[in-house]
Amino acid sequence: MNGKKPYPYPPHTNRELEMMLAGAKPFAMFAHERVDGFEKSDALANQDFATHVANGTLSEHLRAFEAKGPGGTRLNIDYYFYAREGEAWRVEAFSLLLELLHRDAWCPQLEWLSGKLLGYTDEQNRHHLSRTYPSDQLDHINF
């Protein structure tokens, strides 16, 4: 363990499709770095979104970014977004967050917004942020 408090709720990781089909999650995002040996299916944790996109249950959206990696190397990253009906507006909102992330403009407020877009509650976001940021960076955030 990394010394941090365990999550008091099950994170969405690797359960996104199941949660979306159950109506418990409106939106999911996956990052796929285009490198040999790392397939899209790996980024999706082998969840079969394609079937549900094909039958119209979910929509799929792709945004490609070029980012700076360690030592200034260039990374090519495809972000795959999946949305339930009526939730595709989250794609553009999350894309704007990714632009800020790739410009090194990330902060607790933006991380809170990303959590909200992905379907986490304020209580879940509060717990996650308390594991990630010092309390003095969170004191002024009204959840």
Residue 140 pLDDT exceeds 80: no
The pLDDT-based confidence of 104 (bands split at 50, 70, 90) is confident
Query: Residue 99: which of 60, 66, 61 has the closest Cα?
Result: 66
Residue 92 pLDDT exceeds 90: yes
DSSP category for residue 140: T
98-127 burial code (b ≥16 CB/10 A, e <16)? beeeeeeeeebeebbbbbbbbbbeeebbeb
HSE (side-chain half, CA atoms, 13 Å) at 140: 5
Nearest-10 Cα torsion for 53, 57, 58, 60: 30
- The predicted pLDDT at position 6 comes to 83
Mean pLDDT (whole number) for 110-138:
90
The amino acid at residue 123 is E
- The predicted pLDDT at position 3 comes to 54
Cα 58 from Cα 128, distance rounded (Å): 27
